[in-house]
Amino acid sequence: MAQGHKFESNSAAVNWLEARLPIISLLYGALGPGYAAPRNLNYWWNFGSLAGLILVIQLITGIILAMHYVPHVDLAFDSVERIMRDVNYGWLMRYMHANGASFFFIAVYIHIFRGIYYGSYKAPREMLWMLGLVIYLLMMATAFMGYVLPWGQMSFWGATVITNLFSAIPVVGDYIVTLLWGGFSVDNPTLNRFFSLHYLLPFLITGVVILHIWALHLPGSNNPLGIEAKDNKDRIPFHPFYTIKDVFGIGVFLIVFALFLFYAPNSMGEPDNYIPANSMVTPDHIVPEWYYLPFYAILKSFTINILWIPAKLWGVVAMFASILILFALPWLDSSKVRSMQFRPLSKFFFVLLLVDVFVLGYTGSQKPEGILPLISALGTAWYFAHFIVITPLLSKFESTLPLPESISAAVLKKSA
């Protein structure tokens, strides 16, 4: 465990509290000078605190929106427009919440890819990695249900398409779908339960975030070199060094956020969602929010039945497997070298994976016409091959570059 400053206080009141509930020393050790972090963390390490900040923004704006929103199929759309027009700063709350969802995913995607690049999932941080993936899964569910609440056309048809996926599950599929809907189609009971769960899940996320930070503080942060910090020459106290760096990162991130929020608040949404839900009119092209697009492409990439299993079930299984496989990443990659800075081949394949995900994101956003279904299928194949074949092979056969002796040696040599 990293050795930070020990908490001490001269205040009798603080010491009285500490003897009964050591919460100040807990925070001191988690986010203050008591946490010793590697001295060489780069800006990619800012995205964890950024994701945490947006979680707080989403909670606050969401709770305020819930004060004005009406979860009923006849009133939901109107109540959102009332928020936009008549509630004081309601437009600000709603646009913050809607764009906040996108920025939450931006921060978390960068955070995940940073973890992959620098091998942050490797021992002894497997629990940290898996808890992060649990947070990500909860986010996906929360965002999906949140998108249904305005009860626009995309809300309704997105809900219909996604809930129908579960009908692909053999035997119990139809029962599960009926349970999700609370009836025999997406209707008022569906909206009500989605609202209830959309309110609940963020608090579960908050709970898992606390576990995530707990699991971080036992082994301490990974770092760009991927080697363990040996002593306090390799480390600096979290406060004031990383607190001020996080504050600076928050400033930059909020500037970008504000640009979207105030000047292009609808650019990441679908115009169709400003049309009230209508079960009699199907939109031309049902697309999910951008952050699901690669998975949507994987879902759609199976177009023929293989081994008597229907294409739809293959698609659903592949879509869930594409996320679940990340849970196995710490064991698929057995290389002792964490950071891809010292793994040139892995770095190359990492870039290919990134390209692959963007390609899938693009094909997911388009109608499956022409060459696109083929590209989706190849992209899906590559995605799974990356984790199941390439990663284990690389960890066996890749010749890695020599690791530096210590963080301080590497960093100080560079600056000297």
Partner 1 sequence: MKMFKNTVVGLIVVAGLAFGVAASEGGAHLEKQKWSFNGPFGTFDKASAQRGFQVYREVCASCHALKYFKFRNLEDIGYEKEMIGAFAAEYEVPGDIDEAGDATVRAGLPQDAIPSPFANENAARASNGGALPPDLSLITKARAHGPDYVYNLLTGFGDAPDDIELRDGLHYNPFFKGSQIAMAEPISDDLVEYQDGTPATKEQIAKDITMFLTWAGEPKLEARHVLGLRVLLYLLAFTILAYFSMKKIWAPVKRGEDVWGDK
Among 67, 247, 389, 393, binds partner 1 (CB under 8 A): 247
Among 52, 173, 219, 265, binds partner 1 (CB under 8 A): 265
d(CA 299, CA 230): 45
Q: Is 164 in the site for partner 1 (CB under 8 A)?
A: no
Among 11, 266, 279, 334, binds partner 1 (CB under 8 A): 266
Site for partner 1 in 183-222 (CB under 8 A): none
Q: Is 261 in the site for partner 1 (CB under 8 A)?
A: yes
In this complex, which beta carbon is closest to partner 1, that of residue 16 or of residue 262?
262
Site for partner 1 in 120-159 (CB under 8 A): none
416: which 2 tokens? 């000297």
Cβ-based neighbours of 355, under 8 Å, separated by 6 or more: none
Cβ-based neighbours of 406, under 8 Å, separated by 6 or more: 227, 229, 230, 233, 234
Q: Is 236 in the site for partner 1 (CB under 8 A)?
A: yes
Q: Is 252 in the site for partner 1 (CB under 8 A)?
A: yes
> What is the closest distance, in whole angstroms, from the C-beta atom of residue 208 to partner 1 in the complex?
28
Among 244, 381, 385, 393, binds partner 1 (CB under 8 A): 244
Q: Is 262 in the site for partner 1 (CB under 8 A)?
A: yes
Q: Is 271 in the site for partner 1 (CB under 8 A)?
A: yes
Query: Which range in 203-211, 261-269, 295-303, 370-378 contacts partner 1 by CB under 8 A?
Result: 261-269
Cβ-based neighbours of 282, under 8 Å, separated by 6 or more: 157
Among 32, 39, 55, 312, binds partner 1 (CB under 8 A): 39
Q: Is 251 in the site for partner 1 (CB under 8 A)?
A: yes
d(CA 38, CA 35): 10
Q: Is 284 in the site for partner 1 (CB under 8 A)?
A: yes
Query: Which range in 90-98, 205-213, 328-336, 376-384 contacts partner 1 by CB under 8 A?
Result: 90-98
Q: Is 240 in the site for partner 1 (CB under 8 A)?
A: yes
> What is the closest distance, in whole angstroms, from the C-beta atom of residue 392 to partner 1 in the complex?
23
Q: Is 286 in the site for partner 1 (CB under 8 A)?
A: no
Per-residue x/- mask for partner 1, residues 347 to 386, rule CB under 8 A?
A: x--xx--xx--x--xx--xx--------------------
> What is the closest distance, in whole angstroms, from the C-beta atom of residue 278 to partner 1 in the complex?
10
Catalytic residue annotation = 217, 221, 245-246, 289
Which residue ranges make up the site for partner 1 (CB under 8 A)? 5, 39, 78, 81, 84-85, 91-92, 95, 117, 232-233, 236-237, 240-241, 244-245, 247-248, 250-252, 254-255, 258-259, 261-263, 265-266, 271-272, 274-275, 284, 341, 347, 350-351, 354-355, 358, 361-362, 365-366, 412, 415-416
